[in-house]
Amino acid sequence: MSEKIETLLEALPYIKKFAGSIFVIKYGGAAMEEAHLKKEFAKDVALLKYVGINPVIVHGGGPMIGRLLKDLNIPTRFIDGLRVTDEKTLEVVEMVLAGLVNKEIVKNINDMGGRAIGLSGKDGRLLTAKQVENKEVGLVGDITGVNVDIIKDISKHGYIPVIAPIADGSDGKSYNINADTAAGNIAQALSAEKFILLTDVEGVIGSDGKLISMLRKREIEELVEQKIVTGGMIPKVSCCIDALKGGVQEAHIVDGRVPHAILLEVFTDSGIGTEIIGDE
Amino acid sequence: MSEKIETLLEALPYIKKFAGSIFVIKYGGAAMEEAHLKKEFAKDVALLKYVGINPVIVHGGGPMIGRLLKDLNIPTRFIDGLRVTDEKTLEVVEMVLAGLVNKEIVKNINDMGGRAIGLSGKDGRLLTAKQVENKEVGLVGDITGVNVDIIKDISKHGYIPVIAPIADGSDGKSYNINADTAAGNIAQALSAEKFILLTDVEGVIGSDGKLISMLRKREIEELVEQKIVTGGMIPKVSCCIDALKGGVQEAHIVDGRVPHAILLEVFTDSGIGTEIIGDE
Amino acid sequence: MSEKIETLLEALPYIKKFAGSIFVIKYGGAAMEEAHLKKEFAKDVALLKYVGINPVIVHGGGPMIGRLLKDLNIPTRFIDGLRVTDEKTLEVVEMVLAGLVNKEIVKNINDMGGRAIGLSGKDGRLLTAKQVENKEVGLVGDITGVNVDIIKDISKHGYIPVIAPIADGSDGKSYNINADTAAGNIAQALSAEKFILLTDVEGVIGSDGKLISMLRKREIEELVEQKIVTGGMIPKVSCCIDALKGGVQEAHIVDGRVPHAILLEVFTDSGIGTEIIGDE
Amino acid sequence: MSEKIETLLEALPYIKKFAGSIFVIKYGGAAMEEAHLKKEFAKDVALLKYVGINPVIVHGGGPMIGRLLKDLNIPTRFIDGLRVTDEKTLEVVEMVLAGLVNKEIVKNINDMGGRAIGLSGKDGRLLTAKQVENKEVGLVGDITGVNVDIIKDISKHGYIPVIAPIADGSDGKSYNINADTAAGNIAQALSAEKFILLTDVEGVIGSDGKLISMLRKREIEELVEQKIVTGGMIPKVSCCIDALKGGVQEAHIVDGRVPHAILLEVFTDSGIGTEIIGDE
Amino acid sequence: MSEKIETLLEALPYIKKFAGSIFVIKYGGAAMEEAHLKKEFAKDVALLKYVGINPVIVHGGGPMIGRLLKDLNIPTRFIDGLRVTDEKTLEVVEMVLAGLVNKEIVKNINDMGGRAIGLSGKDGRLLTAKQVENKEVGLVGDITGVNVDIIKDISKHGYIPVIAPIADGSDGKSYNINADTAAGNIAQALSAEKFILLTDVEGVIGSDGKLISMLRKREIEELVEQKIVTGGMIPKVSCCIDALKGGVQEAHIVDGRVPHAILLEVFTDSGIGTEIIGDE
Amino acid sequence: MSEKIETLLEALPYIKKFAGSIFVIKYGGAAMEEAHLKKEFAKDVALLKYVGINPVIVHGGGPMIGRLLKDLNIPTRFIDGLRVTDEKTLEVVEMVLAGLVNKEIVKNINDMGGRAIGLSGKDGRLLTAKQVENKEVGLVGDITGVNVDIIKDISKHGYIPVIAPIADGSDGKSYNINADTAAGNIAQALSAEKFILLTDVEGVIGSDGKLISMLRKREIEELVEQKIVTGGMIPKVSCCIDALKGGVQEAHIVDGRVPHAILLEVFTDSGIGTEIIGDE
C-alpha cells in the first residue's frame, strides 16, 4: 500500500510546478471514440482540476459529423484536409459538435467529479472568425479573436470549460474552425503554460524511426524542412509552433490511444509523447 | 420627435420598478419560428438587459426536432403530449436543442448587441432530473434540482443565459424536459420577479370569450375547475401556478405572434396577454 | 401601442453605446427657472441613470442670487460678465447655490425616481481654486484641482452627483466659480464621454443664420476667428473646446428651453443642438 | 517634552476602546458661534477620525437663521420652542443650514486636515419626515426614516459626514427638523456607540446644584419626574433617553463653551459633562 | 508507468471529498524525532495543501525539552503525566517549542515545497488559557479561547500554520499546554473535518488484541469503561471524543512510526490506524 | 486637564502625516533589557498602530544569547563584531531569538493592547540569505530576499509583525543575520517611510561633541570619511544609508535608553536622536 503513497508523492513536484497553470487540451481521435478512453480522459481532466491546474478543453468531432451527414444523405468532400462546408453542412457540424459531442464530454467530466461547462465559440462571442483564404471550402474560418474573459471567469469559479470550435463571423455568418487551430489560438490568447494535442500517433518520429521526447522549436522546424516530419503531422506541428510563438510555454503532441496519456505526459519525467519548447 | 422622447419617458417607471429583477422567459412557438419575430425577440431581450433587467431564456424546439427525426427516418409518437423518447431520439433532441436552436438564439441576441451564453442543463449540472411517473415515455424527466449559482454568475457578469432543457439524471442517463416546466422550475429556483410564457395564443380567455388581462392565482384555479380553461392551456396555467406558489411574483402568458410581445407586456400598463399574480 | 415599443427599441443602440459612460451636464437658464422644464430635466436625468449612463450635474443659479441680493439690499455689479464678489456677496452666492438651488435639483431628481446627492466644491475639497487674473472681481476663482474620487464613488453607488460651483482656495478663502467653466473642468477631470451645456439659445448659428448640428473643434475655432460666433456664445464655445482638448469625446450646446432637450440630443441621430467633436 | 508623550499614551486606552466606533455629535450653540471654538471643534473632529473613530456631525443654525430672516424682514415666531415655518421661512432655513452653516463646518474640518462632506437630509433621501403633530408650526417635521447607507459609505471612505437637518416629506414637501432630535434619530439608526450633545450648559445639574457626571437612564427619568431636570434641558434629556432606548450605548450632554469639550469628554476618565448610560 | 497513474487516480475521490477541508494534525512522537520520518511528514503535509486540503499542524516537543533542561541542569518532574513547570522551566519549554521545534517543522515543510508559518499561542493571542485544576504542576494551562481568525487567514493565503502550544494566561502569565489537548481544542474551534493524532502506537486495540479500524464515539467510550482501552491511550481517546463532541467530523489515531502515515490514513479506504466518528 | 488635550492635538499633524505609513523599527539594546523600557516600548508600538501607522519590529537578542551559551558551556567568539556561529550555536541563537525574545516582545505588545504576531525569517521564507563573505564566521548570512507579502498581509489585518532575524539559506542551511542589517533590508523591501534604529547612544555626534538632529545622506558620508563618525556607529550609519538608497524616506538613530524614545522622535518637531534624509 505504501508504494501507492510513494507514487502519490512522486507527483508532488509536478503538482507544485503547475499549480494555477492553464493547460489547453485539444481533445480528439481515438480518445474521443472509444468508451473506456473517454472515461479515462474525463477522469484525467477532473484530476488536473482538483490538483490546482486549470484545464481548458477544445474538441473536434469529425467522425460523428461524417456519420450524421451520411444518415441525412448530405454529400461531403474535403479540399486540403478541410471539409467543404455549405449552410446545410454547417448546421450538421454545429448540431454534432455543440449539441452532441460537447455535451457528452461535459457529462463525462461531471460524472467523474469534475464540473464542466460546455460552450461553442458563439457563446458570448467567445470565438470570432473570417473565412479562410481558399473560398472554395465555404464556411470554414480562421480565428480573428478570442474572448478570454469568459474562459477565465468560468475557470476561476471552479468549472472546466469545454469548447466546440464554431465561430461567429464578422460578416454575420457562422464558421466551422479546425479544432487543432482553434485550440492553438485559444492557448495563445490565454498565454497557457501548456498546449496539449491529443492525437492518434505516438508523437514526432525522428530520422531513426524513433519517438523524439523533447525538441526545441527550431529543431522541429528543421525536421519539417528536411521532410522528416511530413503529411498529417505538419499541421499539428504548425499549431504547436504558432502556440509557442504566441507565448505558450510548452506544446505536447501526445498519443491519445494510450490510457491516461495526459497524466503520463504531465506527471512523469520522460512523458510519453513529444514535448516542444521555445528556443532557449 | 418629442413624442418619441415622451414614449421613452413613459417607460421610466417600469425601468425603475424592474431594475435588477430576474425575468425567466419561456421562448417558443411562432416567435421562435418566423424570421422577423426571432430578430424582434432578440432585440427585446437585449433591451431588457440594457435597462437593468436580468432576462434568463429557456427554450423548446419541438418543430425542429420533428423535422430532423423525419429526415433521419426515426419514427416518433406522443403520449399525453410528451414525446416518447428512446436513446436515439434523445440524441436528436439534444443535437437540435443544445447544438442548433440554442446557438441560433445566442447568435441572434449577440447580433442585436446583447451578450448571450448558451447552456444545456448538463453544463455544470445546471438541471438534474428523474424519470417522469409514466415510464412509457422513456427518457422524459421531471426536474429535481437547479444549480442557480451558474445562472446568477453569468447574469452578474453582464451575460444573458439561454438554457436548453436537457437534464442530467441521477441514474447517469440524460433526460428531455418539457420546456414550459423547465422554465417554471428555473423561475422558482431563482425566485424570479417575472415568469413569462411566450405562446401562440392570445392569453387566457374568459367565459365571455374575451382575453382576461389580470387574474389572481385563485381565480385561474377556478377557471380550470369550471372547465373554462381547457386543453393545451391547462399545462401552461399549471406552470404559472406552480411558479407563483414557489415564490415568483408575477406570471404572464403572452402571445408570441405579436411583435415585441414581451416589451408590450412589461412596459405598458394594460399589457397584451394575461398576468397571473398571487392571492390577496 | 406597438409604435411606442418601436420608439423604445430605437433608443437601444444609443443605450448600448453609452452604457457606463459619464455625461457632465451644465444645468442652467430657462431649464432651471420654469417649473415644467425643471421637472422634465429631473426626469431626463433619472432616465439616463436608469439606462446605465452616469450623469454628473453642475449648476449655476444667477437669477436666484440676484433676487436674494436685491432682497437684502446688497448692490452688485459685473465686470466682463463676472459678478464682483465680496465676502458678503459670496455668502449669498453660497447660500443660494449650495443651500437652495442645489437641494431643489436634488429633490426634483429624487422625486422622479433618481437618487441624487448634492455637493458644493467645498465638500471633500471637490473643487480647489485660485483667484482669477482680474483681481477687481474679488472672490471669483479659476479651478486648480478636481477631486474626482468623490464623484466616481458616488456615481458607482448609484447616486447622481449634483455640484454647486463653489471652491476652496489654497489661500483659505472660498471662491465663486463660473458654472460653465466648472462643468467643463469637471468633465475634463473625469474624462467624460459627453459634456452637455444647457443654454437658452438654439445652438451655434452659422453664417447662413441656420443652426449647425455638428462641428469639428477646428471649425468652431474658425467661426470664432471669423466673428460668426460672437458675444455670450464665445465663453460657452471656449468651455467646449477646452473640454475636448482635455480628453472629453463630445461637447454639446443644447437649447434648455426645449422640453427633454438632453434626451433629444442623446437619443436621436440628428440631435437638436450643436455637437462639437475633436479634429480628424 | 516627555510629559507630552505621557499624555499621548494616556489616550491610548480610549483610542483602543473606541477604534471603529461611530460617534454622532450634535453641534450647536456657542461652539458654532465663536471663532476660536469653531476651529477647536473642527480640530477635535479631525483628530477623532485620525485615531480611528467615525464622527458624524449633525448641526443646527438657529441664530444665523434668525439673522437672515431679520435682514429679509420676514417675521418669525415660536410655538413650544419650535419655529413656525412657512414656505418662505423654510427657504431661508434651508439656505442658511445647507448653504452656509453646513459648508462652513465642512471647510473648517477640511482646513484642520480632516475630510468632510456636507449633506442635507434631502441628499439621497438621507432623512425622510412627516409633519409634527401640532400642525400650527407648519413645515416642521418628525423623522420617519434614515438612509444609513450613505452615511456609512461616506464614513468608510475616510470622510466625515456633516448633516443639515432638512428632510424630505412623503407628501412632497420639505421639512425643518429640530437638530437635537435629528441627531438622536441618526445615532439610533446607526447604532452609534456614542451620541454627544454639545450645548451651552455644563450638563445635568442635580438637586444639590452640582453637575452629575454619570447617570443611568432610569435615574435621569426620575430626575425629570422630580422636576429637578426642567425647562430646556428636558428635550435634550429626552433625545438622549430615546437614543439609549434605540440601541446607542452612551449619551453625553457636554458644555460646548469649553474648548475641546468633546476630546475632554471622550479621552479623560471623569469627562466634563454628563454621561447617560443604559439601566442595569 | 501506467500503474503509477492508476494510483494517482485512485486518490481522486479522496481529493474530491476533502477539497477545502481543514485537517488539524497533532504532530509528535517518532515522526518528529527520526530524520527520515520528519522529511516524509513534511512532504505529506505539503501534498495535502497542494491537493486543496488545509492542514493545521500542532506539535509537542517533550524529548527536546527534556534534553535542554538536562543540559542546563534544571531538574524536572511529572505529576499525572504533566510536567511540573516553574518560570525557569517554562522559559526552556518556550525556547524549545517556539524557537527550535516549530521553526524546524516550518523549514522542513518549506523545503518540501509547502509554505509554512510558525506561530506560538501567544502570537495574536491565538491561544488563551487558565491554570489547570491541579495547581501543583505550576504553569500548565487549560485552553479557554482560540483566535481562529489568524489560522483561517493564514490558511486562506496558501500558508500552512504550524502551532506551538504555549498560551497567554488571562492572569498575565504564560502557560504550557499539552499538545494533544491544544490540537483537539483548535480542531473544535475550527470545526475541522478531521482531527489526526500522530502517536507511537498502532491505534486503538480491541479485546482480541487486534487494531480496530473504525469506531463510533459511543463504542470507544464503552471500551474505556470496560478497561480495554487503558493507560496513555485514555487521554488520546478523550481528546478525540471532545473534538467529536465539539463538531469535528472524524478523529484519527494514527501510527506516526509508519512512513506517510497521514496519507495512508487519508487516501486509502481502510486506513492504517483507528478512525473514530460520531454516533449517528 | 485641558493641557493634556492640547498635547493630544499637537500630535495631530504628525498623525495625519504618517497615516498608513510603514515604520520599520530595529529593537535592541537597553530598551530590550530593562523591564520598564520594555513596557514603554510595547506601549509606544501599540499607540503607533492605533493612530494608523504600521510598525514592523525587527529585534536582536545578543545578551540573552550570550547568557544561554554560557549556561550551556558553549564557548563563543567574535570576528569583526560577528559571532562565529556553528550549528550548535545557531540552535541556541534560534531558540533565544525566535522562542524567547520574539514571544516576549509579542506578549508585551499584546498586553499593551496591540495585536502582535511573531515570525522568524524562516516563516513563509520571509528572509532568505547566503553566507557572508568571511566564511570563518560560519552560519552568519547576508539577506538575499525578503517576502514582503507576509508582512503586508499581517499589517493589513491589524497585526504588528515582530521579526527574529534568522534566515533560510538557499543551500538548505539556516543563517543568523545581524539585526540592524535585517531591519534595514526589510525597510528597503517594504519601501518604508521610516527606518528607526533604537540604540544605546544619543545619536550621531558632530565634531563639536554635540548631537546632530538632522543630516543629509551626503553629510553623514562625509562625517564617516572625516572619521568624526567612528567605531560601532559606522555599521549603524551604513544601514541607514543603504536604507535611504533603497527607497526609505527617513532613517533615525534614536536613544533607546530614553523612555518613549520612538514617540518623542516621531511626534515632536526636534525629535531626540539623529534623523538622516536623502540628498534632496
pLDDT at E2: 63
Give which of E4, E112, E268, E269 to mutate to test A binding, by max A Cβ within 10 Å. Answer: E4
Q: Which residues 12-71 of chain B have a CB within 8 Å of chain C?
A: 12-13, 15-16, 19, 43-44, 46-47, 50-52
- Does residue F227 lie in a domain region? no
> With an 8 Å Cβ cutoff, are C113 and B52 in contact?
no
Identify the band that residue F2 occupies on the pLDDT scale cut at 50, 70 and 90.
low
Give which of F1, F2, F3, F5 to mutate to test D binding, by max D Cβ within 10 Å. Answer: F5
> With an 8 Å Cβ cutoff, are A1 and E46 in contact?
no
Helix, strand, coil: what percent of chain F each, to 5? 45, 25, 30
Domains held by chain B: number: 1
Q: Is the pLDDT of residue A2 over 70?
A: no
The stretch A123-136 carries a mean pLDDT of: 95
Distance CA D11, CA D5 (A): 10
Q: Is the pLDDT of residue F241 over 80?
A: yes
- Does residue F13 lie in a domain region? no
Best CA proximity match to B55, nearest among B262, B233, B278, B268: B262
Alpha helices, H only, chain E: 2-10, 12-18, 35-50, 62-71, 87-94, 102-111, 148-156, 179-189, 217-225, 233-245, 261-267
Q: In terms of C-beta distances under 8 Å and separation of at least 24 residues, what long-range contacts does E217-220 make, across chains too?
A: E217/E241, E217/E244, E217/E245, E217/E276, E217/E277, E217/E278, E217/E279, E218/E279, E220/E276
Distance CA E122, CA E167 (A): 6
> With an 8 Å Cβ cutoff, are E122 and F103 in contact?
yes
CB-CB neighbors (< 8 A) of E172 in chain F = 111
- Does residue D223 lie in a domain region? no
Tell me if E122 sits within 8 A of E166, measured CB to CB: yes
pLDDT at D87: 94
Place of cell 512523458: A271
**CATH number of the CATH domain containing F70:** 3.40.1160.10
Task: Say which range, A158-162, B250-254, D229-233, F9-13, has the weakest mean pLDDT.
Answer: F9-13
> With an 8 Å Cβ cutoff, are A98 and B99 in contact?
yes
- Does residue B25 lie in a domain region? yes
Best CA proximity match to E267, nearest among E36, E47, E27, E39: E47
**Cα angle: B16, vertex D122, C38; to 5 degrees:** 65
**Cα angle: B137, vertex B140, B143; to 5 degrees:** 145
- Does residue A11 lie in a domain region? no
> With an 8 Å Cβ cutoff, are C12 and B263 in contact?
no
> With an 8 Å Cβ cutoff, are F267 and D19 in contact?
no
Average pLDDT, chain A: 92
Average pLDDT, chain F: 92
Tell me if F189 sits within 8 A of F248, measured CB to CB: no
> With an 8 Å Cβ cutoff, are A168 and B110 in contact?
yes
Best CA proximity match to A197, nearest among A179, A215, A213, A211: A179
Cell numbers standing for residue C106? 436634488
> With an 8 Å Cβ cutoff, are D125 and C103 in contact?
no
State whether residue B167 sits within 8 Å of chain A by CB. Answer: no
pLDDT at C2: 63
> With an 8 Å Cβ cutoff, are D110 and C99 in contact?
no
pLDDT means per 10 residues, chain D with 280 residues, are: 71 86 95 94 94 95 91 92 92 96 96 95 96 94 95 94 96 94 96 96 92 94 92 91 94 94 85 89
Domain of C237, in residue numbers: 19-215+232-266
Give residue-wise pLDDT tens across range C193-227: 999 999 999 999 999 999 999 999 999 999 999 99
> With an 8 Å Cβ cutoff, are C118 and D122 in contact?
yes
Best CA proximity match to B52, nearest among B243, B211, B193: B193
pLDDT at A6: 76
Q: Is the pLDDT of residue F88 over 60?
A: yes
Residue ranges with strand state E in C44-99: 54-59, 78-79, 82-83
Place of cell 452532441: A100
pLDDT at B108: 96
Does D touch C (3+ CB pairs < 8 Å)?
yes
> With an 8 Å Cβ cutoff, are C50 and B2 in contact?
no
Q: Is the pLDDT of residue C168 over 90?
A: yes
Identify the band that residue E8 occupies on the pLDDT scale cut at 50, 70 and 90.
confident
- Does residue F10 lie in a domain region? no
CB-CB neighbors (< 8 A) of C125 in chain D = 110, 115
Query: What length does chain E have?
Result: 280
Tell me if C273 sits within 8 A of C261, measured CB to CB: yes
> With an 8 Å Cβ cutoff, are B12 and C43 in contact?
yes
Q: What is the DSSP string of B206-236?
A: -TTSSB--EEEHHHHHHHHHTTSS-TTHHHH
Closest partner residue to E100 among F99, F124, F157, by Cβ?
A: F99
Place of cell 496558501: E158
Q: How far is C-alpha D180 from the geometric centre of its chain's CA atoms?
A: 6
CB-CB neighbors (< 8 A) of B19 in chain C = 50
Give residue-wise pLDDT tens across range A239-278: 999 999 999 999 999 999 999 999 988 887 778 899 999 9
> With an 8 Å Cβ cutoff, are D1 and F264 in contact?
yes
Closest residue, chain A, to E268 (C-alpha): A1
Single-letter code of the amino acid located at C24: V
CB-CB neighbors (< 8 A) of D44 in chain F = 9
Closest partner residue to B95 among A99, A157, A174, by Cβ?
A: A99
Q: Is the pTM of this model over 0.95?
A: no
Average pLDDT, chain C: 92
Q: Residue D149 contacts by C-beta under 8 Å, 6 or more apart in sequence?
A: none
Does E touch D (3+ CB pairs < 8 Å)?
no
- Does residue B246 lie in a domain region? yes
pLDDT at F11: 79
The stretch E165-170 carries a mean pLDDT of: 94
Closest partner residue to D118 among C100, C111, C123, by Cβ?
A: C123
Q: Is the pLDDT of residue C3 over 90?
A: no
Cα diameter, chain F? 61
Cell numbers standing for residue C2? 406597438
- Which of the 8 DSSP states describes residue D216? E
Residue D186 belongs to what H/E stretch? helix D179-190
The stretch F70-88 carries a mean pLDDT of: 91
Side-chain-facing half-sphere of C184: CA atoms under 13 Å: 24
Closest partner residue to B107 among A95, A99, A174, by Cβ?
A: A174
Closest partner residue to E123 among F71, F117, F157, by Cβ?
A: F117
- Does residue D49 lie in a domain region? yes
C-alpha distance from D192 to closest chain F C-alpha (Å):
20
- Which of the 8 DSSP states describes residue D142? E
CB-CB neighbors (< 8 A) of B263 in chain C = 5, 8-9
Best CA proximity match to E2, nearest among A255, F147, C159: A255
Closest residue, chain B, to C258 (C-alpha): B2
The stretch C103-123 carries a mean pLDDT of: 96
> With an 8 Å Cβ cutoff, are C117 and D150 in contact?
yes
Give residue-wise pLDDT tens across range E50-59: 989 999 999 9
